[in-house]
Amino acid sequence: MTDVVAAPPGAAAATGSEPLLRVQGVHVVHRIRSRKLIGHGNVYALTDANLSIAAGETVGIVGESGCGKSTLAKVIVGLQRPTEGAVNFRGTSLWEMSQKQRARQFGREVGMIFQDPSTALNRRLSIAKIIADPMDVHGVGSSRQRRERVQELMALVGLPTSVADAVPGQLSGGQRQRVAIARALALDPALLVADEPTSALDVSVRAQILNLLMDLKDRLGLAMVFVSHDIQTVQAMSDRIVTMYLGRIAEQAPANDIPDRAYHPYSRALFSATPSLLRPTEPIVLSGAVPSATNPPSGCNFRTRCWKATDECANALPPLTRVGAAAQADETAEPLPLHEYRCWHPELPDAPSDAAEPLKTDSTDTHSANTHSADTHASDAQSPSAESLNAESLNAESPKAGSLKKEQA
Protein backbone atom coordinates (compact mmCIF):
# COMPACT_ATOMS: atom_id res chain seq x y z
CA MET A 1 0.00 0.00 0.00
CA THR A 2 1.40 3.35 -0.94
CA ASP A 3 0.89 6.30 1.31
CA VAL A 4 1.47 9.87 0.26
CA VAL A 5 1.99 13.02 2.25
CA ALA A 6 -1.22 14.98 2.12
CA ALA A 7 -0.63 18.56 1.21
CA PRO A 8 -2.64 21.56 0.18
CA PRO A 9 -2.65 22.09 -3.57
CA GLY A 10 0.51 23.84 -4.61
CA ALA A 11 1.74 24.30 -1.04
CA ALA A 12 5.23 23.57 0.20
CA ALA A 13 3.74 20.85 2.34
CA ALA A 14 3.60 18.70 -0.78
CA THR A 15 7.33 18.21 -0.73
CA GLY A 16 7.23 14.74 0.78
CA SER A 17 8.78 15.73 4.11
CA GLU A 18 7.53 14.02 7.27
CA PRO A 19 3.87 14.89 7.75
CA LEU A 20 2.48 16.11 11.04
CA LEU A 21 0.38 12.98 11.40
CA ARG A 22 0.31 9.76 9.48
CA VAL A 23 -2.26 6.98 9.70
CA GLN A 24 -0.81 3.82 8.16
CA GLY A 25 -2.77 0.69 7.31
CA VAL A 26 -5.18 1.26 10.17
CA HIS A 27 -8.03 -1.15 10.82
CA VAL A 28 -10.59 -0.76 13.59
CA VAL A 29 -12.71 -3.82 14.25
CA HIS A 30 -15.30 -3.81 17.03
CA ARG A 31 -16.25 -7.14 18.52
CA ILE A 32 -19.95 -7.18 19.25
CA ARG A 33 -22.55 -9.51 20.64
CA SER A 34 -25.40 -9.95 18.23
CA ARG A 35 -28.54 -12.08 18.40
CA LYS A 36 -28.70 -12.05 14.61
CA LEU A 37 -25.16 -13.36 14.30
CA ILE A 38 -25.74 -15.87 17.13
CA GLY A 39 -22.86 -15.07 19.41
CA HIS A 40 -20.13 -12.64 18.51
CA GLY A 41 -19.58 -10.70 15.35
CA ASN A 42 -17.15 -8.13 14.04
CA VAL A 43 -17.97 -4.60 12.96
CA TYR A 44 -15.41 -3.43 10.42
CA ALA A 45 -15.53 0.25 11.32
CA LEU A 46 -12.29 1.18 9.53
CA THR A 47 -10.36 -0.88 7.00
CA ASP A 48 -6.81 -0.22 5.83
CA ALA A 49 -6.94 3.55 6.26
CA ASN A 50 -3.92 5.47 4.97
CA LEU A 51 -3.89 9.20 5.45
CA SER A 52 -1.29 11.83 6.12
CA ILE A 53 -1.89 15.35 7.35
CA ALA A 54 0.64 18.07 6.72
CA ALA A 55 1.17 21.03 9.04
CA GLY A 56 -1.37 23.75 8.30
CA GLU A 57 -3.50 21.57 6.03
CA THR A 58 -7.25 21.08 6.32
CA VAL A 59 -8.52 17.64 5.42
CA GLY A 60 -12.28 17.21 5.07
CA ILE A 61 -13.83 13.79 5.62
CA VAL A 62 -17.18 12.99 4.03
CA GLY A 63 -19.40 9.96 3.56
CA GLU A 64 -22.75 8.56 4.53
CA SER A 65 -23.70 7.82 8.10
CA GLY A 66 -21.79 4.86 9.54
CA CYS A 67 -18.96 4.93 6.96
CA GLY A 68 -16.31 5.39 9.66
CA LYS A 69 -15.73 9.16 9.72
CA SER A 70 -15.83 9.47 13.52
CA THR A 71 -13.79 6.29 13.92
CA LEU A 72 -11.05 7.77 11.73
CA ALA A 73 -11.27 11.08 13.65
CA LYS A 74 -10.90 9.21 16.94
CA VAL A 75 -7.94 7.25 15.59
CA ILE A 76 -6.31 10.55 14.60
CA VAL A 77 -6.69 12.08 18.08
CA GLY A 78 -5.69 8.88 19.86
CA LEU A 79 -9.12 8.19 21.37
CA GLN A 80 -9.44 4.95 19.39
CA ARG A 81 -6.64 2.42 19.40
CA PRO A 82 -6.30 0.70 16.01
CA THR A 83 -6.89 -3.03 15.92
CA GLU A 84 -4.08 -3.09 13.37
CA GLY A 85 -1.82 -0.47 11.79
CA ALA A 86 0.06 2.57 13.07
CA VAL A 87 -0.49 6.23 13.85
CA ASN A 88 2.61 8.40 13.83
CA PHE A 89 2.71 11.93 15.11
CA ARG A 90 5.80 13.95 14.12
CA GLY A 91 7.36 10.61 13.17
CA THR A 92 6.76 8.92 16.54
CA SER A 93 4.39 5.99 16.89
CA LEU A 94 1.50 6.91 19.15
CA TRP A 95 0.72 3.45 20.38
CA GLU A 96 4.32 2.57 21.13
CA MET A 97 4.46 5.43 23.65
CA SER A 98 3.52 4.85 27.27
CA GLN A 99 0.09 6.19 28.23
CA LYS A 100 1.79 8.97 30.19
CA GLN A 101 4.00 9.93 27.28
CA ARG A 102 1.03 9.86 24.92
CA ALA A 103 -0.96 12.19 27.15
CA ARG A 104 1.98 14.51 27.76
CA GLN A 105 3.38 14.76 24.23
CA PHE A 106 0.52 13.98 21.92
CA GLY A 107 -2.37 15.20 24.11
CA ARG A 108 -0.93 18.73 24.09
CA GLU A 109 -0.54 18.87 20.34
CA VAL A 110 -4.01 17.76 19.31
CA GLY A 111 -7.39 19.28 20.18
CA MET A 112 -10.80 17.86 19.44
CA ILE A 113 -14.19 19.49 18.98
CA PHE A 114 -17.21 17.24 19.21
CA GLN A 115 -20.60 17.42 17.59
CA ASP A 116 -22.68 18.39 20.57
CA PRO A 117 -21.19 21.05 22.86
CA SER A 118 -23.90 20.53 25.47
CA THR A 119 -22.70 17.00 26.19
CA ALA A 120 -19.01 17.70 25.60
CA LEU A 121 -18.77 20.29 28.40
CA ASN A 122 -18.96 19.64 32.13
CA ARG A 123 -22.31 21.18 33.10
CA ARG A 124 -21.20 22.01 36.66
CA LEU A 125 -18.00 23.88 35.87
CA SER A 126 -17.77 27.56 35.03
CA ILE A 127 -16.74 28.54 31.51
CA ALA A 128 -13.39 29.84 32.79
CA LYS A 129 -12.70 26.53 34.56
CA ILE A 130 -13.66 24.49 31.50
CA ILE A 131 -11.29 26.44 29.27
CA ALA A 132 -8.52 26.28 31.89
CA ASP A 133 -8.95 22.54 32.42
CA PRO A 134 -6.38 21.29 29.86
CA MET A 135 -3.81 23.71 31.30
CA ASP A 136 -4.59 22.45 34.81
CA VAL A 137 -4.29 18.81 33.71
CA HIS A 138 -0.97 19.41 31.97
CA GLY A 139 0.32 21.76 34.68
CA VAL A 140 0.92 24.60 32.25
CA GLY A 141 1.89 28.01 33.65
CA SER A 142 1.17 29.67 36.98
CA SER A 143 -2.43 30.27 38.06
CA ARG A 144 -2.11 33.92 37.00
CA GLN A 145 -0.82 32.89 33.57
CA ARG A 146 -3.71 30.45 33.17
CA ARG A 147 -6.23 33.14 34.06
CA GLU A 148 -4.68 35.43 31.48
CA ARG A 149 -4.66 32.65 28.90
CA VAL A 150 -8.36 31.97 29.55
CA GLN A 151 -9.13 35.64 28.88
CA GLU A 152 -7.02 35.56 25.74
CA LEU A 153 -8.78 32.41 24.49
CA MET A 154 -12.23 33.83 25.22
CA ALA A 155 -11.39 36.91 23.19
CA LEU A 156 -9.96 34.75 20.41
CA VAL A 157 -13.18 32.76 20.00
CA GLY A 158 -15.47 35.77 20.47
CA LEU A 159 -16.83 35.07 23.95
CA PRO A 160 -17.63 38.07 26.18
CA THR A 161 -15.73 38.15 29.48
CA SER A 162 -19.11 38.40 31.21
CA VAL A 163 -19.73 34.67 30.67
CA ALA A 164 -16.51 33.56 32.41
CA ASP A 165 -18.37 32.62 35.61
CA ALA A 166 -21.48 31.22 33.89
CA VAL A 167 -22.08 27.50 33.48
CA PRO A 168 -22.66 25.91 30.04
CA GLY A 169 -26.45 25.72 30.55
CA GLN A 170 -26.62 29.52 30.66
CA LEU A 171 -25.03 29.90 27.22
CA SER A 172 -26.49 29.56 23.73
CA GLY A 173 -25.53 26.57 21.56
CA GLY A 174 -23.17 28.71 19.47
CA GLN A 175 -21.50 30.13 22.58
CA ARG A 176 -21.08 26.63 24.01
CA GLN A 177 -19.33 25.52 20.83
CA ARG A 178 -17.06 28.58 21.15
CA VAL A 179 -16.19 27.39 24.67
CA ALA A 180 -15.39 23.93 23.27
CA ILE A 181 -13.16 25.51 20.62
CA ALA A 182 -11.39 27.68 23.21
CA ARG A 183 -10.77 24.59 25.36
CA ALA A 184 -9.44 22.67 22.36
CA LEU A 185 -7.00 25.53 21.66
CA ALA A 186 -5.87 25.99 25.27
CA LEU A 187 -2.61 24.09 24.85
CA ASP A 188 -1.79 25.67 21.50
CA PRO A 189 -2.22 22.49 19.45
CA ALA A 190 -0.77 21.87 16.00
CA LEU A 191 -3.82 19.87 14.91
CA LEU A 192 -7.51 20.43 15.53
CA VAL A 193 -10.00 17.66 14.78
CA ALA A 194 -13.62 18.77 14.45
CA ASP A 195 -16.23 16.01 14.18
CA GLU A 196 -19.49 17.52 12.87
CA PRO A 197 -18.83 20.71 14.86
CA THR A 198 -21.96 22.49 13.64
CA SER A 199 -24.54 19.78 13.09
CA ALA A 200 -26.09 20.23 16.55
CA LEU A 201 -26.35 24.02 16.09
CA ASP A 202 -29.05 26.24 14.64
CA VAL A 203 -28.54 27.07 10.99
CA SER A 204 -28.21 30.74 11.93
CA VAL A 205 -25.05 30.16 13.99
CA ARG A 206 -23.43 27.46 11.86
CA ALA A 207 -21.79 29.93 9.51
CA GLN A 208 -20.43 31.94 12.44
CA ILE A 209 -18.75 28.88 13.95
CA LEU A 210 -17.38 27.73 10.60
CA ASN A 211 -16.01 31.16 9.84
CA LEU A 212 -14.45 31.23 13.30
CA LEU A 213 -12.74 27.88 12.65
CA MET A 214 -11.45 29.09 9.28
CA ASP A 215 -10.17 32.29 10.82
CA LEU A 216 -8.44 30.47 13.68
CA LYS A 217 -6.91 27.97 11.31
CA ASP A 218 -5.36 30.79 9.28
CA ARG A 219 -4.31 32.91 12.23
CA LEU A 220 -2.82 30.08 14.25
CA GLY A 221 -1.48 28.01 11.31
CA LEU A 222 -3.40 24.96 12.52
CA ALA A 223 -3.78 21.72 10.66
CA MET A 224 -7.40 20.65 10.76
CA VAL A 225 -9.43 17.51 10.19
CA PHE A 226 -13.00 18.46 9.48
CA VAL A 227 -15.71 15.79 9.51
CA SER A 228 -19.12 16.66 8.15
CA HIS A 229 -22.17 15.44 6.28
CA ASP A 230 -22.41 18.84 4.69
CA ILE A 231 -20.54 18.51 1.41
CA GLN A 232 -20.60 22.19 0.49
CA THR A 233 -19.16 23.16 3.85
CA VAL A 234 -16.42 20.56 3.57
CA GLN A 235 -15.54 21.88 0.13
CA ALA A 236 -15.35 25.41 1.42
CA MET A 237 -13.25 24.48 4.45
CA SER A 238 -10.82 21.93 3.05
CA ASP A 239 -7.61 21.78 1.09
CA ARG A 240 -8.20 18.11 0.50
CA ILE A 241 -11.26 15.90 0.69
CA VAL A 242 -11.39 12.27 1.76
CA THR A 243 -14.44 10.28 0.65
CA MET A 244 -15.26 7.25 2.80
CA TYR A 245 -17.55 4.34 2.12
CA LEU A 246 -18.29 1.48 4.49
CA GLY A 247 -15.10 1.84 6.50
CA ARG A 248 -12.78 2.39 3.56
CA ILE A 249 -11.28 5.50 2.00
CA ALA A 250 -12.62 5.46 -1.55
CA GLU A 251 -10.91 8.60 -2.82
CA GLN A 252 -8.70 11.46 -1.62
CA ALA A 253 -8.55 14.55 -3.78
CA PRO A 254 -7.62 18.22 -3.68
CA ALA A 255 -10.84 20.15 -2.96
CA ASN A 256 -10.51 21.89 -6.31
CA ASP A 257 -10.74 18.53 -8.10
CA ILE A 258 -14.15 17.85 -6.58
CA PRO A 259 -16.66 17.23 -8.07
CA ASP A 260 -15.63 17.60 -11.74
CA ARG A 261 -12.52 15.52 -11.47
CA ALA A 262 -13.68 12.93 -8.97
CA TYR A 263 -12.88 9.47 -10.34
CA HIS A 264 -14.64 7.20 -7.89
CA PRO A 265 -18.32 6.65 -8.73
CA TYR A 266 -19.24 6.98 -5.07
CA SER A 267 -17.59 10.42 -4.85
CA ARG A 268 -19.53 11.43 -7.95
CA ALA A 269 -22.81 10.25 -6.43
CA LEU A 270 -22.13 11.84 -3.06
CA PHE A 271 -21.15 15.21 -4.48
CA SER A 272 -23.98 15.22 -6.99
CA ALA A 273 -26.42 15.00 -4.10
CA THR A 274 -25.69 18.61 -3.12
CA PRO A 275 -26.63 20.81 -6.04
CA SER A 276 -24.55 23.88 -6.71
CA LEU A 277 -25.59 26.96 -8.62
CA LEU A 278 -22.09 27.19 -10.08
CA ARG A 279 -22.03 23.59 -11.26
CA PRO A 280 -25.53 22.31 -11.88
CA THR A 281 -25.33 18.53 -12.08
CA GLU A 282 -27.91 15.82 -12.46
CA PRO A 283 -28.18 14.11 -9.06
CA ILE A 284 -26.91 10.52 -9.22
CA VAL A 285 -29.41 8.42 -7.36
CA LEU A 286 -28.04 5.20 -5.92
CA SER A 287 -30.23 2.21 -5.35
CA GLY A 288 -30.11 -0.07 -2.35
CA ALA A 289 -29.07 0.34 1.26
CA VAL A 290 -25.54 0.57 2.56
CA PRO A 291 -24.45 -3.02 3.34
CA SER A 292 -23.80 -4.05 6.93
CA ALA A 293 -20.41 -3.19 8.39
CA THR A 294 -20.39 -6.69 9.92
CA ASN A 295 -20.32 -8.31 6.50
CA PRO A 296 -18.96 -5.91 3.87
CA PRO A 297 -19.07 -7.02 0.22
CA SER A 298 -16.00 -8.70 -1.30
CA GLY A 299 -13.75 -6.83 -3.71
CA CYS A 300 -14.90 -3.23 -3.95
CA ASN A 301 -17.33 -2.70 -1.09
CA PHE A 302 -19.35 -0.18 -3.15
CA ARG A 303 -20.21 -2.75 -5.82
CA THR A 304 -23.70 -3.55 -4.49
CA ARG A 305 -24.78 0.03 -5.25
CA CYS A 306 -22.50 0.96 -8.11
CA TRP A 307 -23.93 1.35 -11.60
CA LYS A 308 -20.57 0.44 -13.13
CA ALA A 309 -19.95 -2.78 -11.18
CA THR A 310 -18.64 -5.83 -13.02
CA ASP A 311 -17.46 -9.28 -11.94
CA GLU A 312 -14.01 -7.79 -11.61
CA CYS A 313 -15.31 -5.52 -8.87
CA ALA A 314 -16.55 -8.48 -6.83
CA ASN A 315 -13.41 -10.52 -7.35
CA ALA A 316 -10.72 -8.18 -6.11
CA LEU A 317 -10.15 -4.93 -4.30
CA PRO A 318 -9.25 -2.31 -6.89
CA PRO A 319 -5.64 -1.13 -6.68
CA LEU A 320 -4.80 2.31 -5.41
CA THR A 321 -4.52 4.62 -8.39
CA ARG A 322 -2.68 7.86 -7.94
CA VAL A 323 -3.50 10.62 -10.36
CA GLY A 324 -0.43 12.36 -11.70
CA ALA A 325 1.81 9.62 -10.36
CA ALA A 326 3.82 9.62 -13.55
CA ALA A 327 4.99 13.13 -12.78
CA GLN A 328 5.57 12.23 -9.15
CA ALA A 329 7.70 9.24 -10.17
CA ASP A 330 10.28 11.78 -11.31
CA GLU A 331 11.78 12.74 -7.98
CA THR A 332 13.21 15.95 -9.33
CA ALA A 333 9.81 17.15 -10.56
CA GLU A 334 7.64 19.51 -8.54
CA PRO A 335 5.28 17.23 -6.59
CA LEU A 336 1.67 17.36 -7.66
CA PRO A 337 -1.19 17.64 -5.19
CA LEU A 338 -2.28 14.23 -4.00
CA HIS A 339 -5.24 12.62 -5.67
CA GLU A 340 -5.83 8.89 -5.34
CA TYR A 341 -8.71 6.45 -5.54
CA ARG A 342 -9.61 2.78 -5.75
CA CYS A 343 -11.84 1.80 -8.64
CA TRP A 344 -11.65 -0.65 -11.54
CA HIS A 345 -13.83 1.50 -13.80
CA PRO A 346 -13.37 5.12 -12.75
CA GLU A 347 -15.46 8.00 -14.00
CA LEU A 348 -13.75 10.18 -16.53
CA PRO A 349 -13.24 13.80 -15.49
CA ASP A 350 -15.68 16.36 -16.87
CA ALA A 351 -12.91 18.90 -17.36
CA PRO A 352 -10.27 18.47 -20.11
CA SER A 353 -6.98 16.82 -19.26
CA ASP A 354 -3.52 18.32 -19.46
CA ALA A 355 -1.21 15.96 -17.66
CA ALA A 356 -0.11 12.46 -16.91
CA GLU A 357 -1.97 9.17 -16.95
CA PRO A 358 -2.84 7.78 -13.56
CA LEU A 359 -0.59 5.05 -12.25
CA LYS A 360 -1.54 2.16 -10.00
CA THR A 361 0.63 2.22 -6.94
CA ASP A 362 0.11 -0.91 -4.91
CA SER A 363 0.38 -4.64 -5.14
CA THR A 364 -3.36 -5.30 -5.25
CA ASP A 365 -3.14 -4.74 -8.99
CA THR A 366 -3.51 -8.37 -9.95
CA HIS A 367 -5.48 -7.51 -13.06
CA SER A 368 -4.32 -6.34 -16.42
CA ALA A 369 -3.66 -2.64 -16.97
CA ASN A 370 -6.59 -0.39 -16.21
CA THR A 371 -8.25 0.29 -19.50
CA HIS A 372 -10.31 3.11 -17.98
CA SER A 373 -7.50 5.59 -17.71
CA ALA A 374 -8.12 9.12 -16.62
CA ASP A 375 -6.00 12.17 -16.47
CA THR A 376 -4.51 14.62 -14.07
CA HIS A 377 -5.45 18.24 -14.36
CA ALA A 378 -4.26 21.52 -13.16
CA SER A 379 -7.04 22.77 -10.94
CA ASP A 380 -8.96 25.62 -12.42
CA ALA A 381 -12.27 25.39 -10.63
CA GLN A 382 -12.23 27.08 -7.26
CA SER A 383 -14.12 25.74 -4.30
CA PRO A 384 -16.26 28.31 -2.48
CA SER A 385 -14.19 30.60 -0.32
CA ALA A 386 -14.55 30.96 3.41
CA GLU A 387 -16.35 34.23 2.86
CA SER A 388 -18.99 32.43 0.87
CA LEU A 389 -20.13 30.45 3.89
CA ASN A 390 -23.48 31.70 4.88
CA ALA A 391 -26.55 30.37 6.58
CA GLU A 392 -28.19 29.58 3.26
CA SER A 393 -25.39 27.40 1.92
CA LEU A 394 -25.22 25.58 5.23
CA ASN A 395 -28.86 24.73 5.08
CA ALA A 396 -28.32 22.27 2.24
CA GLU A 397 -29.68 18.81 2.96
CA SER A 398 -26.94 16.36 3.78
CA PRO A 399 -27.08 12.99 2.05
CA LYS A 400 -28.09 10.33 4.56
CA ALA A 401 -27.70 6.58 4.37
CA GLY A 402 -30.11 5.12 1.89
CA SER A 403 -31.05 8.49 0.47
CA LEU A 404 -28.78 8.15 -2.55
CA LYS A 405 -30.19 6.15 -5.42
CA LYS A 406 -28.92 5.74 -8.95
CA GLU A 407 -30.95 4.28 -11.76
CA GLN A 408 -29.11 1.34 -13.21
CA ALA A 409 -27.36 2.34 -16.39
List interacting residues with ligand SF4 (CB under 6 A).
264-265, 300, 302-303, 306, 308-309, 313, 318, 343-345
Crossing angle for the helix pair 173-185 and 143-156, nearest 10 degrees?
Answer: 130
Nearer to ligand ATP, 186 or 244 (CB): 244
Q: How far apart are CA 255 and CA 379, in angstroms?
A: 9
CB of 245: closest distance to ligand ATP in angstroms? 10
| Beta-strand relationship, 84-89 and 21-34 | antiparallel
The whole-angstrom separation of Cα 200 and Cα 302 is 29
- The least CB distance from residue 323 to ligand ATP, in Å, is 25
Cα–Cα distance between 16 and 19 in angstroms, integer?
A: 8
Minimum distance of ligand SF4 from residue 347's CB (angstroms): 9
Beta strands in 196-239 (DSSP E): 223-227
Q: Which is nearer to ligand SF4, 311 or 354 (CB)?
A: 311
The residue at minimum Cβ distance from Mg ion is 70
**241 binding partner (options Mg ion, ligand SF4, ligand ATP, none; Cβ < 5 to 8 Å by kind):** none
With CB under 5 to 8 Å by kind, the binding choice for 308 among ligand ATP, ligand SF4, Mg ion, none is: ligand SF4
Q: Do 267 and 243 form a contact (C-beta atoms < 8 A)?
A: yes
Binding site for ligand ATP (CB under 6 A): 30, 32, 43, 45, 63, 65-71, 293
Q: Which is nearer to Mg ion, 65 or 126 (CB)?
A: 65
| HSE-up (13 A, CA, CB side) for residue 8 | 15
User: What is the C-alpha separation between 282 and 366, in angstroms, rounded?
Assistant: 34
Nearest distance in Å: CB 60, ligand SF4: 20
Pick the closer one to Mg ion by CB: 193 or 356. 193
> What does the alpha-carbon distance between residue 346 and residue 310 come to, in Å, rounded to a whole number?
12
- Amino acid present at 371: T
Q: Which of 70, 256, 301, 361 binds Mg ion (CB under 5 A)?
A: 70
Nearer to ligand ATP, 67 or 131 (CB): 67
